[in-house]
Chain A
Amino acid sequence: MTRGSRLTAVITRLRSLPSRLRDGWPPLSPRKTLRIARWEVEKSAGTIDRRTAAVAVLMLVVGGLAAPAVVEQGPGLDDGIYRVGVEPGDPYHEVVQESAKFDARPGQASATALNRGEIDLLVTDRGPIIPRSTRKGQAAYAEFRTAVVEYNDGQMRLDDNQSAAFPVAVDVFYESRGGSRFAPDGGTDAGAGNTDGTDGTDADGSGTSNGGDGSGTSGDGTAGGGDTAADGDDGVSAPNLGGSGGFGSGTSSGDPSSISPPFPFSSLVLAFLFIVPMNFVIQAYGSTIINERINRRGELLLVAPVSRRDIIAGKTLPYFLGLVAVTVGIAWAIGGGLASVGAVIPIALLFLASTFVGGMFARSFKELTFVTIAVSVFLTSYVFVPAIFTDVTPIALISPLTVVVMDLQGQAVGLGEFTFATVPFLLTALVLFTLGAGTYREEDMFSQRPVHQKALDAIATRVRSVGSVAVVTMLLLPFVFLAELLAIALVFILPRSVSVPALFLTVAVIEEIAKSVHVYAGFEYARFERSKRAAVVLGIASGVGFFIAEKLTLLVQLVQLQTLPEGQSVFPDAAVGGIDPLIALGLLALPLLLHTVTATISALGAQRSRRAYLGAFCVAVVVHLVYNLGVSGLVG
């Protein structure tokens, strides 16, 4: 073959790539999809008796009504926890009455009652306020101080002249951990720690100060300070501001009394409401998928003139639309906006996609139960835990639920933040559906192969040529992205001396798996000739595919994740700014070399045997790790 004809052949193959990728995937037929969806609803409705449906609806209604009330009034665990001896005529009696945490005991406002342990705090106009000499007594005293501040603030807010009532206004800015500014929508950095105000609050009952240092605002009375971040060490720069303040909002103004812990309890609980229905819906969805496989029930659908895509879309649509409807309903009920709905939908899709794959891989309902519970626990943790740190760090945005929390807190959500939080979920869901769909055929659906073997089946169905190896590597990138973001979130709380090396190793393992597992599957399923030459070609293809797709990780720049040392460990490409251009160019080109070399190492092992693959994989990981450490040293 001449060079010209080879080139023509390559061009022809490239041109036919889209059609080859679509191979076996005729266009979606909306009519067929909707027909299958309607049938799915009718069929599923027939399996639920009216009593069960009524109980489920009742539980949903009760849960829906109870959740906002819980959020509005707090968990209520400490209602009346402190017993306070105070006479009805005492100036502080109203303070005690207004706070739910106090249980006013008018008949026990005496030193005797205090000494007997009948009350935790004695408040009289005849002398100082006396706490009982126990930890609970001290806590009651601190809480009492807070209650007085809140009461005074409330009184001040009723004043016509607010300037006189609150002569000091405080602007608060947020500092990211590590000292870099993290305020995507701008705002002036007025420095930190400027929330200190004059401590005019005493428990002496003067009631004239507007509260100031932020101390004592936490419920347990032990919180020390309203100082914001950037206090010198590398600790979490948690600003003790609640309300409208928070991460990403840039600046906020408010009175010092609005200081509260950074844990966005209310918004988080409300955001969690979106996740709860998903855990139920995937049980039904997983069942319907595996039902098609039990006793070969789905066989006749495969013979009908409908595509696999129609079947899968039709079976998934009712559950997806159900989740969208529930999401919109919850958003409407709790005051969430479009951002909330838009952020929750990718989560719902990932729940469904993971369950779909689980349903296609599981060999029995028993295995499916394990899979759906694993999906529930893992994804719920994945989306919930980072959202706890909504007000603390950009890492929180690895979860779309953080967008919901921000939305519920009334914070503006930038397009970049929204994209960063949701796109990986969407892409991962898409890839999972694609992988699962690969096994939606007679030969794989009804076989009783182990789960890991089915996973290899699913991957192998997508590997047919050198080009497809590169494409599959690229398709696996969303997994890589999610896994690496999860790794960041997991090691975030560890000391940097531990977290950064741990991340280097984790990243190397994750990326080498993504580059080699389908090559191994290809050799195992005889898609390729077992030769060193083939291994080298496939390794290079996989490495190049990964390099191209990896550039998508520049998405992290949308939220400046690379400003964190953990972010730099995982996404070094995104952190090359500010160094010598030659080094920067090298840092951009070196990954190509790295990925092709390590992918080739693994491929060389894969073409021999499973054991050789595992050995070669370990070598590839070590090479990758050494590279990461080297680049880390270069970047500084």
Chain B
Amino acid sequence: MITVEDLRKEYDGFVAVDGSTFSVGSGEVFGVVGPNGAGKTTTLKTLAGLIEPTSGTVSVAGRAADDPEMRRNLGFLPEESPLYEEMTAISYLEFFADLYDVPDDVAAERITEALDRLDLEHRERRIGDMSKGMKRKVAIARSLVNDPDVLIYDEPASGLDPLTTNYIIEFTEQLAEQGKTIVFSAHNLYHVESICDRVIVMNQGEIIARGTLDEIRREHGSTEYHVYTDVELDAAEPAGDERYESVVGDMDAVEALRSQAGALGGSVVDIQTRDPSLEDIFLDIAGETPEEASEGERDRTVEAET
């Protein structure tokens, strides 16, 4: 459905995206993760035809990204919700439906359905008078007025309260279940992990990891073994009930712990395995989580401005 080959984007000598190559299959939910400045938004905007690549090719459903016809089958949700605040939600959505050549009756049906599903009240209220969460829902509804096969959502839950965030993530999952192809970016790796089939991890314009979550775990992460003993070993942490927890990375280390415990007159009472989260993997690869990287960047910006 989406093919990106050797995508590169430069701004006045600054390389925002450097040689990205990936593809997204039909009906797939594809995650793009990374800290601020990693190149996620530039990548997504290039997919939406908003930004012209410096080099490389991007095609969506067989059409070049800058082909206006491609846009008919695409719904884009930018990180912010840049809405026309003088308009009501209904008139705003009707306007965009018209631009997508959606017949009036079909548009009315779709708008009502989308707003019902998003549970948006006060539809005749001016957008400027709505809360941030409501505006976000209007923006999501706008991305659906043309009933696109491809949805590109850039940080759909950014800056929203936890309740609205969960609501929007669940809504995105519903869209995925309907068979929409979704490219999804987020700082919060938990959200990505919960709905994405495959991900790419970007840092400083480059893809540093890719694949399904299992593939990435296999490649970049390792299973942790949490070994519980009834005697205190070196580097073990108390785990309650006179048990002590040690974390190791392979079975050889587990056997070594068993030997140590036996030597001290104790034994291993329990072993649990735990797969690394995407956040752990990102931490392992990039040295900090996306949120930490973003915070760090924000701090650096504030310092520079100060």
A binds B: yes
Known contacts A43-B84, A296-B78: does B99 contact A306 (CB below 8 Å)?
yes
Docked complex: B241-290 residues within 8 A CB-CB of A: none
**Is B71 within 8 A of A303, CB to CB?**
yes
**Is A43 within 8 A of B86, CB to CB?**
yes
| A32 contacts the other chain (CB 8 A) | yes
Q: Shortest distance in angstroms between A305's beta carbon and chain B's nearest beta carbon?
A: 4
**Is B86 within 8 A of A46, CB to CB?**
yes
Known contacts A46-B86, A442-B45, A442-B51: does B98 contact A295 (CB below 8 Å)?
no
Known contacts A43-B86, A443-B51: does B80 contact A304 (CB below 8 Å)?
no
Q: Shortest distance in angstroms between A57's beta carbon and chain B's nearest beta carbon?
A: 21
Q: Shortest distance in angstroms between A319's beta carbon and chain B's nearest beta carbon?
A: 17
Known contacts A296-B82, A300-B78: does B69 contact A305 (CB below 8 Å)?
yes
Q: How many residues of B contact A (CB 8 A)?
A: 30
Q: Shortest distance in angstroms between B291's beta carbon and chain A's nearest beta carbon?
A: 23
Top 6 closest A-B pairs, CB basis?
A46-B86, A442-B50, A305-B71, A297-B82, A296-B82, A304-B99
Residues of B within 8 A of A304 (CB): 71, 96, 99-100
| B22 contacts the other chain (CB 8 A) | no
- Residue from the list A43, A297, A305 in contact with B68, Cβ < 8 A: A305
- Which has the most chain A C-beta neighbours within 10 Å: B45, B83, B99? B99
Residues of B within 8 A of A24 (CB): 66
Complex Cα distance, B39 from A191, in Å, reads 78
Residues of A within 8 A of B71 (CB): 303-305
Flag A26-53 by CB within 8 Å of B: 1 or 0 each.
1000001001100100110011000000
Complex Cα distance, B96 from A36, in Å, reads 10
Contacts from B to A (Cβ < 8 Å): 11, 45, 48-52, 66, 68-69, 71-72, 74, 76, 78, 80, 82-84, 86-87, 91, 95-96, 98-101, 126, 142
Of the A-B pairs whose beta carbons lie under 8 Å apart in the complex, a sample of 17, sorted by A's number, is A32-B99, A43-B86, A47-B86, A295-B82, A296-B82, A297-B84, A298-B82, A301-B99, A302-B50, A303-B48, A303-B74, A303-B76, A304-B71, A305-B100, A441-B52, A442-B50, A443-B11
Q: How many residues of A contact B (CB 8 A)?
A: 26
Interface of A, secondary structure class, is helix
Q: Shortest distance in angstroms between B222's beta carbon and chain A's nearest beta carbon?
A: 41
Residues of B within 8 A of A296 (CB): 78, 80, 82
Q: Shortest distance in angstroms between B162's beta carbon and chain A's nearest beta carbon?
A: 25
Residues of A within 8 A of B91 (CB): 42
Flag A276-301 by CB within 8 Å of B: 1 or 0 each.
00000000000000000001111111
Contacts from A to B (Cβ < 8 Å): 24, 26, 32, 35-36, 39, 42-43, 46-47, 295-307, 441-443
**Is B49 within 8 A of A303, CB to CB?**
yes
Q: Shortest distance in angstroms between B14's beta carbon and chain A's nearest beta carbon?
A: 12
Complex Cα distance, B66 from A441, in Å, reads 12
Closest to B142 in A: A300
Closest to B85 in A: A297
**Is B82 within 8 A of A305, CB to CB?**
no
Residues of B within 8 A of A443 (CB): 11, 51-52
